[in-house]
Amino acid sequence: MLKKILTTTAAISLCAGAAYADYSLTVLHTNDFHARFEPISKYDSGCSSEDNTEGKCFGGSARLVTAIEDARSRTNNSILVDGGDQFQGTLFYTYYKGKLAAEMMNKMGYDAMTVGNHEFDDGPEVLRGFMDALDFPVLMSNADFSGEAFLADKLLKSTIIERGGEKLGLIGLTPQNTDELASPGPNVIFTDPSEAVQGEVDKLTAEGVNKIIVLSHSGYRVDQIVAANTTGVDIIVGGHTNTLLSNSNERAEGPYPTMVGSTAIVSAYAYGKFLGELNVTFDDDGNVTEASGEPLIMDAAVTEDETTVARIAEAAVPLDEIRNKVVAQTAEAIDGSRDVCRHMECQMGNLVADAMLDRVKDQGIHVALANSGGLRASIDAGDVTQGEVLTVLPFQNTLSTFFVDGAMLKAALENGMGQFDNPEDDGRFPQVAGMTFTVESGNATGERVVEVMIDMDGTWEPLDMSKTYGVVSNNYVRNGGDGYKMFREASNVYDFGPDLADVTAEFIAANAPYTPYTDGRITVK
């Protein structure tokens, strides 16, 4: 039976009277946790124990344990699901890979999660080890992974669970461009999300399931497209774009839930700062008759579970010597926020690009290009620890130097602006040093970058399409990450320079107390 089509854009209530067999379900959800097992600051970076005691911190696994238990006590039927990207973001992931994430998710009693692009950062083998340690299924519908031995017999496209005597169908989604964002290898072929979801919906419906939830690590925009292009999907639990949906928070990008037809879309920002809580009522035909809720902020009002605090502290012992080392000072907070750095020149982008160029400028290198997707946090004012730098730059990327002609460099900048009209879910926006450029945002894709100037040993010159330029970036970008595939054809390549986090920390130290800045090197019109 086709679901009724709803047109409201907020919480909905269709039935004044009860249906014959109303079924209520609470969907608890997280997304984009990124190894933030400890509490975080308002900058989404590390938060000291002193600040945590003073009530200035958010999130952390210990608060989530308490909040999940409390939320479950308020409902007869509930599920706990995750929208992907448990991996990557702090030294906890660098040291433990997926082991600690699996332990914490099992402790909290998750029912399912979808694969985020960062779950592929260390290839299918590490993802398989993570899945083997979990007590629940991991889902990804929009890919053919039958040829990947580490995934073929373990990863699922969808699954059915029972709660309160009712069957619930769960479907997973992963970014279609994960091959550009991470390292899934050549044996995983990603496909269109809407077609994949509809295929799984049809299979689940044929098995008698009429309550279907998509766990989507594809971004808020794609979630809305999938909702519009499919039938039978009741709920989409989002991830990937760190989107906050809320009916009370002024920074929300949309209502909670966002309704597209009869589909309720929810998302709870990132880093464990919120626990999403959606309360849904279905009639006996599986139609949603009511959907309401709000992300619950994990602030000091949420008591930390003492057992979990102790376990995370134990897990942190091997990391403390590295991350607590003060490496520099900054005069002001350095803004590395996602909503700035993925749209325009930003302070953290200038810092990282300047640091890269400074390290190798005596090697015939003229310009630096850093993908904004590699910048993962801000840094507050005062002492800067190695742990803070590693939170900003967690990927263990190395400096890459190479040489390209002006045409290839122009193509790279155009790639960086390739999704400028829809940058919400894209990390390719280039932060640069040694060059300036202007973006005509209204131009067609491939024609947006104009007036490129290159600093040639102190003299600013227009970009020459036939001239050769030395470039420094990170090994991820040089090898085609975030769409920079043109750099695979570069010459005189060296991908094995020092770790980008170390280079940045040393640059801050050499310029301490470092004062963050922007200087107009990128102009957007």
Q: SS3 letters for 189-232?
A: EECCHHHHHHHHHHHHHHCCCCCEEEEECCCHHHHHHHHHHCCC
Q: Which residue in 413, 446, 441, 409 sits closest to 524, CA to CA?
A: 441
Angle at 474 between CA 473 and CA 480, to 5 degrees: 95
| pLDDT given at position 497 | 84
Mark the ranges of the chain whose per-residue pLDDT is less than 70.
Answer: 1-21, 422-425
* Residue 92 token pair: 């906890």
CA distance 208 to 258: 27
Q: Smallest Cα–Cα separation from 143: which of 185, 81, 201, 113?
A: 185
Residues 6 or more apart whose Cβ sits within 8 Å of residue 380? 41, 43, 45, 333
Q: What is the pLDDT of residue 92?
A: 93
The model's pTM = 0.78
- pLDDT at position 323 is 85
pLDDT value, residue 418: 85
pLDDT value of residue 43: 77
pLDDT at 395: 83
- The pLDDT of residue 322 is 84
pLDDT of residue 506: 94
Cβ proximity of 26 and 78 under 8 Å: yes
With a CB cutoff of 8 Å and minimum separation 6, the contacts of 461 are 453, 454
Q: What is the per-residue pLDDT for 425?
A: 59
Residue 469 per-residue DSSP state:
E
3-state secondary structure string across 63-75: HHHHHHHHHHHCC
Instruction: Give the strand pairing for 468-474 and 367-371.
Output: parallel
**Rounded distance, CA 401 to CA 8, Å?**
52
